[in-house]
């Protein structure tokens, strides 16, 4: 993978982290994602967790983004599925089993995410839907989905910690703030082998970083937390993303007219 490609993935994940921080500032669980067209490298959909606001337990970030795309295709199910299969997903937290299954069925071949999902992770932590040959694509095809964790992992963890030290009034059993301490120093190791083999790791991050794979440590670029990234406010992030999506749609419409 070239340096330019690595920086592109890093930039897209940073956008997802900013979107998650925006969700946190609105009182939501800070999980967010973007869908990126792998040909144009433009954002085509986005999603934020909306479970608190909607009181809907399945209003996860990935589903919110998928619904955006579905609206574009109305009853054209084949067009919708083919469009999704040409996307790369960047999400701050490993998709849950439900979302992982949906992404696999839509034939999304590659997912980048920040931190693992210890309780419900569907891409390696609890189940490995991405490598499960019994979960087929929408066209009945069998394929292995590439699942790449670790980008802004500590930032994704910190956003979740920010959320859980706050009082969640929607929780059935809320704990008092005094019972919660914000840990900014300690982070669990990342067992890369749960999510990807050495070959894929080397392809994505370079053979010179295989020592991180073996030692279950963060990549050098992600060992120090970017505090500005997770402590800033992004009031314009949704507007900026919608603008990029609109530009993508305009380009696609021009192609159809030619």
Active site residues: 62
Instruction: Kindly calculate the radius of gyration of the chain based on its CA atoms and give it in whole angstroms.
Output: 18
DSSP code string of the chain: --HHHHHHHHHHHHHHHHHHHHHHHTTS-S-EEEEEETTT--EEEEEE--HHHH--TT--HHHHHHHHHHHHHTT-HHHHHHHHHTEEEEEEEPPBHHHHHHHHHTT--EEEEEE--TTTBTBTTS-BGGG-TTS--TTS---PPEEE--TTHHHHHHHHHHHHHS--TTSSSPPPGGG----SS------GGGT--HHHHHHHH-GGGHHHHHHT---GGGSS--HHHHHS--TTHHHHHHHHHHHHHHHHHHHHH-
Is beta strand 146-148 parallel, antiparallel or unpaired with respect to 110-115? parallel
- Strand pairing partners for 129? none
Closest by Cα among 157, 85, 94 to 123: 94
Token representation of residue 191: 């067992």
Q: How far apart are CA 240 and CA 32, in angstroms?
A: 15
């Amino acid at each position: 993978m070239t340096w330019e490609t690595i920086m592109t993935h890093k930039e897209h994940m940073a956008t997802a982290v900013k979107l998650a921080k925006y969700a946190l500032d609105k009182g939501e669980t800070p999980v967010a994602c973007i869908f990126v067209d792998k040909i144009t490298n433009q954002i085509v959909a986005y999603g934020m967790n909306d479970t608190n606001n909607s009181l809907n337990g399945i209003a996860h970030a990935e589903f919110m983004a998928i619904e955006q795309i579905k609206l574009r295709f109305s009853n054209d199910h084949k067009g919708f599925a083919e469009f999704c299969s040409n996307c790369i997903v960047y999400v701050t937290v490993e998709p849950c089993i439900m979302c992982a299954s949906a992404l696999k069925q839509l034939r999304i071949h590659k997912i980048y995410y920040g931190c693992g999902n210890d309780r419900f992770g569907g891409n390696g932590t609890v189940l490995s839907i991405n490598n499960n040959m019994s979960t087929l694509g929408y066209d009945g095809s069998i394929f292995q989905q590439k699942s790449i964790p670790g980008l802004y992992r500590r930032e994704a963890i910190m956003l979740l910690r920010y959320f859980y030290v706050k009082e969640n009034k929607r929780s059935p059993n809320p704990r008092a703030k005094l019972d919660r301490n914000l840990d900014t120093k300690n982070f669990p190791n990342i067992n890369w082998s749960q999510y990807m083999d050495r070959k894929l790791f080397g392809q994505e991050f370079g053979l010179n970083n295989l020592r991180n794979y073996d030692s279950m440590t963060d990549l050098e670029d992600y060992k120090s937390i970017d505090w500005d990234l997770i402590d800033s406010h992004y009031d314009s992030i949704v507007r900026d993303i919608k603008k990029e999506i609109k530009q993508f749609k305009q380009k696609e419409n021009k192609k159809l007219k030619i």
